[in-house]
Amino acid sequence: MIPTTALTNSSGLLERLELARRFHIHTILTCHNPQNVNLSQNTNINESIVVLRRHLGEVSPATRIIALDRLPTDDSETDQLFKDLCECETGTLADGWGDVSTWPAERIQAGDWAAAVWRSPKLAQGAARFAEHGALGQLAAAGLSAHATGQQLRGAFGPSAAGHVNAFPILKSKSADAQKTIRSTPDEHWAPKGKRKQESLAMLEKAGRLLITAGQDTSTGRVTSVADDQAYVGNGWMPLTGASPRGAKAAAVFLNSTVGRLLLMRNPGKKLNFPSYSADAASELPIPDIGDQHVQTTLADCWEATRSEIVPQFRDGYTDIRRRWDQAVCDALGWDISKIAELGELLAKEPHVRGVAYGQWKS
């Protein structure tokens, strides 16, 4: 039994590679009910059961991924779940337990165990496919650098009045009430403790026109990335330097699209319903070539068209503005909107997005 995020985070990669080398990763079981995520006592983090087996063959079989919608509450239900699992190789489990799918052995052996973080097997497959898509390259390779300014802000800086000497605006809060649009909205002013101007100047060198979340509620949040002509630093938001004004706007639209969110969410830290992201992880995110004129124009124009619209919370479903962002991404990259929209609808139904177990929400 291990934390579910250990199945995806970079710090656990060497362990996953070693386990996959020595054993057949037979089964990974995770419960995706947001109110029932842990399997051990005195913790509230997501946990998974990983079943390892000795395998003497040259090629290991695929790994069985069990996504539960609820956990058994007594011995009788435990017996029933075991029986239903034995009778279902893949597909929907009887008695409303959840779903069983498989994950390719080659992905497991490469350390990609990310299928466990998704309730929907289609989302797991889609996220993996786009992580390796030829039309996308790493954010760092595009000349963008992510900066985790939050810790430095909290250490050497503090809240200040807007007109105070050396004060500058920041994006502080991760809450749904702070960033409501795809356009950056500073919500506080901060200044260095002791009025040291040099520290302000050093901090502002990390300001970016593009910012990405450092972690947020996957249900009540609204946007994963924001942009503006003005550059900012953030507490709950990481600035990315190196983007032109139009390039920053183009990247923000992609990162808020269904594909962008899938790529961000497939490697969560801490919890599935409130993941954390590091600057290193952000630098590895795949994005389109925002220097390409067609890509930049298509996506940046979409940012301009939607910059003032209040974005519904993630739990509110696959809304019009999210489909418009997806349409812009498809227009920019030549993708099929019907396929991306299908993933968008599935993402809106994920338990840690909807806020309730699969199929338990009300219209």
Give me the pLDDT at residue 222, please. 98
- Residue in 200, 276, 274 with CA at minimum distance from that of residue 238: 276
Q: How far apart are CA 360 and CA 358, in angstroms?
A: 6
State the Cα–Cα distance between residues 248 and 296, nearest whole angstrom. Answer: 9
Task: Kindly give the residue spans of alpha helices, DSSP state H, lying in the chain.
Answer: 13-22, 75-87, 105-109, 121-131, 149-156, 197-204, 245-256, 258-265, 279-283, 293-306, 320-333, 337-349, 351-354
In single-letter form, the type of residue at position 239 comes to P
The one-character DSSP state at 62 is P
Q: Which amino acid is at 47?
A: E
- What's the DSSP call for residue 289? -
**pLDDT tens-digit profile of 6-25?**
999 888 999 999 999 999 99
Q: Is 222 exposed, middle or buried (0-12, 13-18, 19+ CB in 10 A)?
A: buried
Coil/strand/helix, residue 114: helix
Residue 202 vs residues 53, 197, 205: alpha-carbon distances, Å: 53, 9, 5
State the DSSP H helix or E strand holding residue 168, giving kind and residue range, or none if neither. strand 168-171
pLDDT at position 194? 77
Ranges of residues in the chain with a pLDDT under 50 are: 363
Side-by-side strand order, sheet with 225-234: 145-146, 237-241, 208-213, 225-234, 168-171, 188-192, 157-160
Output phi, psi for 133, to 5 deg: -70, 135
- pTM for the model: 0.94
Query: What are the structure tokens assigned to 138, written together?
Result: 């790493």
- Give the Cβ contact number of residue 2 at 10 Å: 14
The sign of the CA dihedral 214, 217, 223, 229 is negative
Considering only CA atoms, give the Rg of the chain: 21
70 is written with which tokens?
């609820």
Tokens at 327, concatenated: 């349409």
pLDDT at position 361 is 64
